[in-house]
A and B are shown apart, each in its own frame.
Chain A
Amino acid sequence: GAGVSQTPSNKVTEKGKYVELRCDPISGHTALYWYRQSLGQGPEFLIYFQGTGAADDSGLPNDRFFAVRPEGSVSTLKIQRTERGDSAVYLCASSPGLAGGPSYNEQFFGPGTRLTVL
């Protein structure tokens, strides 16, 4: 079946602009995660959804970052007033949830969106 997909694959924007990054999780997965990966670093957690609600948003760096998952499937990460320091690869992952048996919390990653802020 189809894995996690993310669009766009690349996004170049100017400082101060608004961007939206989209994630399509694996069908039926109840949990969805956003991570940010800067050059030379491992992925850093941003936010985690269980269904439609944000179960943990403690990784969002500031109030310019916001994410939604209105129908419990597709999620959008929104960044306002982008800064050069926001340049990174934004990764999305999903996991099956309790119906997934022993692998309920195995996270499947998308290919990422490379964001460049000029």
Chain B
Amino acid sequence: AQRVTQPEKLLSVFKGAPVELKCNYSYSGSPELFWYVQYSRQRLQLLLRHISRESIKGFTADLNKGETSFHLKKPFAQEEDSAMYYCALSGGSQGNLIFGKGTKLSVKP
């Protein structure tokens, strides 16, 4: 079955601390993995995708096919990073996204 698992509903860290949001997936083929972010009162927006291998707003994510993981990391969290983060996968082409349940990141001053 195709599935995305985000084990943490809420992650709370202090400003300047490292943060890692976990994502594991189950997919039989070669999926494309994404992280989407939703800031308070804003729409869902793409943060990064594994094929671009970019660092966006200091966040990085590496696809580990052996562990079927795509964890999101940032070395020094900022208060403005507080938001809801969703991991998602696509089977490629222009198919639909399969989302995890999301992790709420709270960065305290």
Contact = CB atoms under 8 A, between A and B. Distances in A.
Interface of A: 3-4, 31, 33, 35, 40-45, 48, 50, 55-56, 59, 91, 95, 97, 102, 104-112
Contacts, number: 59
Contact of B44 (A95, A104, A105, A109): A109
Interface residues on B, range: 20 to 34
A55 B101 CA distance: 25
A86 to B, nearest CB: 19
B99 A105 contact: no
Interface in B12-39: 32, 36
Interface of B: 4, 9, 32, 36, 43-46, 49, 51-52, 86, 88, 90, 92-102
Nearest to A4: B43
Nearest to B46: A106
A107 B46 contact: yes
Contacts of B101: 40-42
